[in-house]
């Protein structure tokens, strides 16, 4: 600007520049924003997601318990069998302790920490994250009573579902069920081995003795799972109606071996993954979902990580490349980039609002797990300096697109969706108020210790139209249908029940996105400051 310009003109131009900078900042902020255009507060989401696990605790609650409407429960678990099974997590809105989904929850919490632990610590949530993992692993140590014996369930789903009670009032069966040599359960033993191996790495610095103990249990459990093969739902009939092992146990054996390889560095575990790649379906199954049951996509991405990092022998390379091809089939399926020659199931369906859709019952578990897998794979590609993924049919997709889809799915959960509803309970102005959850839907035990029986809970609390008296902060509910429709009713358990394995992968996602959002803010502020200083110099 020429020095002869008038003061009012300089002021006007500075005002225009300020407006333009504000508009640019608002536009960039809305890229990761909520339905009303405001940027999401990922740090708040992270804090609340970890709080949820305290609401799901079974056993004697510690003095530092932050969820005030919960109290001690399940204090006689295992007593009839002569074993201490007090502790662990209730998986959802009822009070059975199911070993398979509980172990998967701990594996995903641990994986979140291994990838994004520094981001969790930067947000001040490291201690809470470690507590969430340890509450599960402490229980697994108790449940693994012999090298070839693992208690895999406490409580009976059928009798539990006849009652609508607070966990503190439980009158239902607390029968415990185990797998052993005569009644094998390679899937539940394999997943528990994976959880303890992954957790051992999380605790390696802060608690090396505990980490060593976890790894010892993990190795024993893997030997048991591999040495005595069989599906746990064939040994424990009571689990079949709730957490049947539809995918079988071979994915869990590969999954456990990969986690043990990462935890120990022992070549034998990677040899196992390579030698069994074909027979166990690791390089055969082209999968479009990842869950507590179906681990193949996670297996394939972990194997691809080893390839990208060069952590393999020359002989193992071709097998790991086949694992990576299947990993990229999953990634491209989420992106919708696989050629339809792969069949009508080559890609994942999307709702009109952009949500990945697998099936109507608790679809949000597939969304959150996909977000995490996509995010970690994008990070592995970036670390290796690889810019694209190869899709079935010969197409490609940019690694940046993979990361962007992970963020978009996370933002959908937080309210960037057609309804403007946050499916993370307690986050944002609008979230489910009638979550299908016994403890949350009944007056807190600490406020009213009057016993509430099975039918009384149904009569007085389940059928109420009002919001739950307790907010299940941090829970991620089952979520909307394929048309983004959601009915916030307590009896609509397909959509309003929350599960621990829905929230677990989001701990890592929220931590990573919180760091990214902070970096983006700092970058915008730096650009704005540079622009202002440049304008001032011209003036």
Catalytic residue ranges: 436
Residues in CB range of 360: below 8 A, 6 or more apart: 481, 482, 494
CA nearest neighbour of 354 among 400, 399, 290, 416 = 416
Cβ atoms of 381 and 513 within 8 Å: the answer is no
Residues in CB range of 287: below 8 A, 6 or more apart: 294, 296, 297, 300, 326, 329, 330
Chain Cα centroid distance, residue 75 = 28
Residues in CB range of 273: below 8 A, 6 or more apart: 254, 257, 258, 261, 282, 299, 303
Beta strands in 315-427 (DSSP E): 349-350, 356-357, 388-390, 396-398
Helix %, strand %, coil % of the chain (to 5): 55, 5, 40
Burial class (CB in 10 A: 0-12, 13-18, 19+), 336: middle
333 vs 345: CA distance, rounded Å: 9
**170: left (phi > 0), else alpha (psi -120 to 50), else beta?**
beta
Cβ atoms of 211 and 200 within 8 Å: the answer is yes
Torsion on CA atoms 22, 26, 27, 29, rounded to nearest 10: 140
Count CB neighbours of 291 within 10 A: 20
425 vs 240: CA distance, rounded Å: 29
Count CB neighbours of 53 within 10 A: 26
Alpha helices in 182-316 (DSSP H): 186-202, 208-227, 232-235, 240-243, 250-264, 267-275, 296-309
Bridge partners of 337, per DSSP, are none
Chain Cα centroid distance, residue 69 = 24
344 vs 266: CA distance, rounded Å: 40
């Amino acid at each position: 600007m020429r020095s002869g310009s008038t003061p009012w003109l300089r002021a006007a131009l500075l005002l225009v520049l300020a407006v333009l900078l504000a508009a640019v900042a608002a536009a960039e902020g809305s890229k990761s924003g909520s339905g009303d255009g405001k940027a999401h507060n990922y740090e708040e989401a992270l804090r609340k997601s970890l709080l949820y696990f305290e609401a799901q605790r079974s056993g004697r609650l510690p003095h530092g318990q932050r969820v005030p409407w919960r109290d001690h429960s399940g204090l006689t678990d295992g007593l009839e069998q002569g074993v201490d099974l007090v502790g662990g997590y209730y998986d959802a809105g009822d009070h059975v302790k199911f070993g398979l989904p509980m172990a998967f929850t701990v594996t995903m919490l641990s994986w979140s920490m291994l990838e994004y632990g520094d981001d969790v610590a930067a947000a001040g949530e490291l201690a809470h994250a470690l507590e969430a993992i340890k509450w599960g692993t402490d229980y697994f140590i108790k449940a693994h009573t012999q090298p070839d014996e693992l208690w895999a369930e406490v409580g009976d789903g059928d009798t539990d579902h006849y009652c609508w009670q607070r966990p503190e009032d439980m009158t239902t069966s607390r029968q415990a069920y185990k797998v052993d040599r005569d009644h094998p359960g390679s899937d539940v033993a394999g997943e528990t081995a994976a959880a303890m191996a992954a957790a051992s790495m999380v605790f390696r610095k802060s608690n090396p003795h505990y980490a060593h103990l976890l790894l010892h249990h993990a190795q024993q459990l893997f030997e048991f799972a591999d040495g005595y093969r069989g599906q746990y739902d064939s040994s424990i009939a009571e689990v079949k109606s709730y957490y049947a092992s539809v995918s079988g146990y071979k994915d869990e054996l590969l999954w456990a071996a990969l986690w043990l390889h990462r935890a120990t560095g022992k070549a034998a575990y990677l040899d196992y993954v390579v030698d069994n790649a074909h027979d166990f379906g690791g390089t055969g199954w082209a999968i479009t979902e990842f869950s507590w049951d179906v681990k193949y996509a996670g297996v394939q991405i972990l194997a691809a990580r080893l390839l990208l990092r060069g952590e393999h022998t020359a002989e193992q390379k071709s097998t790991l490349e086949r694992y990576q091809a299947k990993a990229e089939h999953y990634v491209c399926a989420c992106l919708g980039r696989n050629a339809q020659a792969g069949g009508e199931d080559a890609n994942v369906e999307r709702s009109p609002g952009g949500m990945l859709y697998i099936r109507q019952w608790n679809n949000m578990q597939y969304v959150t797990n996909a977000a995490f897998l996509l995010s970690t794979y994008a990070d592995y590609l970036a670390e290796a300096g690889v810019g694209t993924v190869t899709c079935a049919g010969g197409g490609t997709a940019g690694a940046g697109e993979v990361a962007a889809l992970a963020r978009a799915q996370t933002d959908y959960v937080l309210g960037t969706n057609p309804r403007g509803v946050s499916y993370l309970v307690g986050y944002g102005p609008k979230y489910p108020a009638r979550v299908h959850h016994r403890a949350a839907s009944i007056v807190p035990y600490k406020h009213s210790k009057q016993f509430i029986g099975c039918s009384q809970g149904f009569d007085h609390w389940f059928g109420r139209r009002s919001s739950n008296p307790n907010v299940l902060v941090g829970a991620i509910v089952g979520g909307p249908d394929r048309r983004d429709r959601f009915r916030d009713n307590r009896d609509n358990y397909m959509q309003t029940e929350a599960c621990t394995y829905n929230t677990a992968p989001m701990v890592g996602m929220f931590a990573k996105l919180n760091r990214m959002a902070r970096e983006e803010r700092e970058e915008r502020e730096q650009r704005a400051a540079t622009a202002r200083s440049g304008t001032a110099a011209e003036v």
